[in-house]
């Protein structure tokens, strides 16, 4: 591994040019466009310079790469400290591998350490427990905890984010605990064992946290009001085609939601195919669509406009106007139903056959057990404007199409979803899964984690993972996509990224990490995240924003 020590504190220069701003969002530099690296050590130089020893037996050993080992297992609170006592808001991250972890043991990462007995601590504990603690004068107070597998001999990536009085703990990129701390507002970092032995590697400290309290000037992280609490349960209605509910159409039920609605409004939809255009306006937030049976195939909302479909008043609908369902109201949720665009490509000869099933332009959206069906441009995950980020979480969903069927500048996490490519009858090119247009100031575009990429009948080596979309030639639309921990079918090309409209895919932010399956062959044309980088590109990092949103379950 390369030497990665930066100590003492480095000052980050302000990036003003487009190329400089892009460089900050690329992997290998700061973790985001607004975070500077304050300290880093991967122990590749074989020493512990910059660290202050305090008990234990510390040495640099090899564990795939150089790593720092604490080998004394009968010592309480053996630790090292590093960094600056003046650090305030920051995120510290390290890879940690417990070697021995007895019943009274712990292996931990420390933040804002103002001495040997006062600090914040994220600890791996026996019994499959992770605990975030505030330690003052040696007395620990739990800020939060989580149950998750903890095994000796396994590497974990721990992270602590301190921002004002807010403290958050992460394991392998997932938020596991958070709380409010009252310790000193500044301090160093530390590595700790308690009656345990462990190895540590790839320690980094970045300024400002991964969830910045002040967003970059070039982009507002969200135009959505930040709720002080979860909206209370509100009104509800039932949609049924047969007249047995409150409404016979979905749009009629949406129209009945009060303008300026401030509580959850649940619209339960009974089985049937609802052929209608549906729009959730911006002044109707907190709306939920719920299929009544729990089977996503029982409730279908569909229409069949395409971009080139003539409008009655003249002209054509265009890509955005082709959407069967348009979501402008923030905090929308959908469960157990299907959104579809049923445009028949074979029956028409339009020059523009983009046909959107769902267009999102709002923030904090959740789709759970939802199917998105179409061909070209099925799911348009966007935002209200280029200076605003729109976030969405897709859990256990099914998305299918052929050309650019997941596209836009939105920030979206696809968790445990089936991504299904439809055949276009070609032996060499059956389309593109993604076409992101993520703005350069946004470090997060599309994340596919624990997904399965399948096909109906597309041949081997015939589908691309994606290509960079620059709407109207916008040079600041620098697409960002990560496929990680997913199973890729044989239809995925060995060189899965490709250019679009004269823009090179190599200038985009395309990465993979630990994928499997016949389509996951690693080649020179497939940039891979390193183990150290991977936690920065996990689901909660994408979704947290400035309000700490966490819909993941």
Number of domains making up the chain = 2
171 and 290 assigned to the same domain: no
Q: What is the CATH number of the domain that holds 151?
A: 2.60.120.560
Same domain, 43 and 192: yes
Give buried/exposed letters for 467-479 (b at 16+ CB in 10 A, else e). Answer: bbbbeeeeebbbb
Residue 377 among the catalytic residues: yes
- CATH code of the domain covering residue 384: 2.160.20.10
Taking the C-alpha atoms of residue 289 and residue 273, their distance in angstroms, rounded to an integer, is 14
Contact yes or no for 161/544 (Cβ under 8 A): no
Indicate the residue among 207, 223, 255 that finishes a domain: 207
One domain for residues 198 and 328: no
CB 209 within 8 A of CB 163: yes
Of 183, 207, 231, which residue sits at a domain end? 207
Regarding whether 189 and 71 lie in a shared domain, the answer is: yes
Of the residues 201, 402, 404, 415, only one is catalytic, namely 404
Residue 453 covered by a domain: yes
**Residue 43 in domain:** yes
**Are 420 and 498 members of one domain?**
yes
φ and ψ at 240, to 5 degrees?
A: -145, 130
> Are 72 and 180 in the same domain?
yes
Q: Which domain does 282 fall in, by range?
A: 270-543
Residues 363 and 444 in one domain: yes
Q: Residue 79 domain-assigned?
A: yes
5 falls within a domain: no
Q: Are residues 304 and 165 in the same domain?
A: no
Residue with tokens 């003539």: 310
The pLDDT assigned to 208 comes to 56
- Classify residue 51: in a domain, yes or no: yes
pTM across the whole model: 0.62
The 3-class secondary structure across 458-477, one letter per residue, is: CCCCCEEEECCCCHHHCCCE
DSSP 318: H
Q: Is residue 246 situated within a structural domain?
A: no
Same domain, 492 and 380: yes
Is 301 in the same domain as 393?
Answer: yes
- The pLDDT, as a whole number, for residue 24 is 28
What string of pLDDT tens digits covers the 553 residues of the chain? 233 333 333 223 223 323 332 332 333 322 333 346 788 888 877 888 888 877 889 999 988 778 899 999 998 878 889 988 999 999 898 989 999 999 999 999 999 999 888 999 999 999 999 999 999 988 999 999 988 889 999 988 899 999 889 999 988 777 888 989 888 899 999 999 999 999 998 888 887 533 332 233 333 344 455 543 444 445 889 999 999 989 999 999 999 999 999 889 999 999 999 999 999 999 999 999 999 988 999 999 999 999 999 999 999 999 999 999 999 999 999 999 999 999 999 899 888 999 999 999 999 999 999 999 999 999 999 999 999 999 999 999 999 999 999 999 999 999 999 999 999 999 999 999 999 999 999 999 999 999 999 999 999 999 999 999 999 999 999 999 999 999 999 999 999 999 999 999 999 999 999 999 999 999 999 999 999 999 999 999 999 999 999 998 6
Residue with tokens 């970059």: 216
User: Of residues 42, 377, 402, 415, which has the active-site annotation?
Assistant: 377
Residue after which a domain boundary falls, among 188, 207, 226? 207
Q: What is the largest CA-CA distance in the chain?
A: 81
The whole-number pLDDT of residue 64 equals 72
CA distance between the termini of the chain: 35
d(CA 169, CA 184): 18
Number of residues in the chain: 553
Tell me, yes or no, whether 434 lies in a domain.
yes
- Residue 236 counted as domain residue: no
The answer to whether 417 and 451 are in contact (CB under 8 A) is yes
* Strand 299-303 versus strand 272-275 pairing type: parallel
Instruction: Answer whether 145's CB lies under 8 Å from 132's CB.
Output: yes
Residue 52's CB is within 10 A of a number of other CB atoms, namely 13
- Same domain, residue pair 175 and 314: no
Q: Indicate if 109 and 197 belong to the same structural domain.
A: yes
404 an active-site residue?
A: yes
């Amino acid at each position: 591994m390369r030497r990665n020590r930066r100590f003492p504190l480095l000052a980050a220069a302000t990036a003003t040019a487009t190329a400089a701003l892009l460089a900050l969002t690329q992997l290998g530099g700061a973790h985001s466009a607004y975070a500077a690296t304050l300290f880093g050590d991967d122990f590749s130089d074989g020493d512990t310079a910059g660290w202050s020893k305090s008990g234990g037996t510390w040495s640099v050993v090899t564990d795939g790469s150089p790593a720092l080992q604490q080998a004394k297992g009968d010592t309480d609170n053996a630790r090292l400290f590093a960094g600056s006592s003046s650090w305030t808001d920051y995120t510290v991250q390290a890879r940690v591998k417990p070697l021995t972890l007895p019943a009274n043991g712990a292996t931990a990462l420390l933040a804002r350490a103002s001495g040997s007995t006062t600090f914040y601590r994220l600890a791996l504990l026996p019994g499959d427990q992770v605990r975030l603690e505030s330690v003052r004068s040696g007395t620990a107070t739990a800020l939060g905890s989580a149950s998750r597998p903890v095994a000796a001999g396994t590497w974990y990536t721990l992270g602590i984010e301190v921002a004002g009085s807010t403290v958050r703990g992460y394991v392998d990129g997932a938020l596991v605990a958070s709380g409010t701390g009252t310790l000193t507002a500044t301090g160093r970092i530390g590595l700790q064992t308690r009656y345990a032995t462990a190895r540590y590697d790839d320690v980094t400290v970045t300024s400002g946290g991964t969830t910045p309290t002040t967003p970059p000037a070039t982009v507002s992280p969200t135009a959505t009001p930040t709720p002080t609490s979860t909206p209370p349960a509100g009104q509800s209605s039932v949609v049924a085609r047969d007249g047995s509910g409150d409404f016979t159409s979905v749009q009629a039920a949406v129209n009945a939601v009060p303008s300026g609605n401030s509580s959850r409004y649940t619209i339960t939809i009974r089985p049937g195919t609802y052929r209608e255009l549906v729009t959730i306006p911006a002044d109707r937030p907190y709306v939920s669509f719920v299929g009544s049976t729990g089977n996503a195939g029982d409730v279908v909302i569909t229409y069949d406009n395409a971009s080139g479909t003539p409008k009655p008043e003249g002209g054509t609908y265009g890509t955005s106007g082709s959407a069967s369902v348009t979501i402008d109201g923030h905090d929308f949720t959908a469960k157990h139903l299907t959104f579809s665009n049923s445009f028949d490509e074979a029956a028409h000869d339009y020059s523009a056959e983009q046909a959107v099933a769902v267009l999102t332009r709002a923030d904090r959206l959740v789709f759970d057990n939802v199917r998105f069906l179409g061909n070209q441009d099925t799911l348009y995950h966007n935002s209200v404007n280029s200076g605003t980020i729109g976030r969405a979480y897709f859990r256990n969903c099914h998305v299918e199409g052929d050309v650019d069927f997941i596209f836009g500048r939105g920030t979206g996490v696809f968790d445990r979803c089936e991504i299904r490519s439809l055949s276009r009858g070609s032996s060499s090119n059956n389309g593109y899964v993604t076409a992101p247009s993520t703005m350069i100031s946004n470090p997060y575009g599309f994340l596919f984690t624990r997904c399965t990429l399948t096909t109906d009948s597309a041949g081997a080596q015939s589908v691309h993972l994606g290509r960079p979309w620059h709407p109207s030639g916008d040079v600041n639309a620098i697409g960002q996509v990560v496929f990680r921990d997913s199973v890729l079918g044989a239809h995925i090309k060995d060189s899965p990224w490709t250019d679009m409209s004269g823009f090179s895919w190599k200038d985009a932010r395309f990465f993979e990490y630990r994928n499997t399956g016949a389509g996951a062959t690693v080649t020179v044309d497939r940039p891979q995240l390193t183990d150290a980088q991977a936690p920065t590109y996990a689901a909660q990092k994408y979704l947290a924003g400035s309000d700490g949103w966490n819909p993941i379950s």
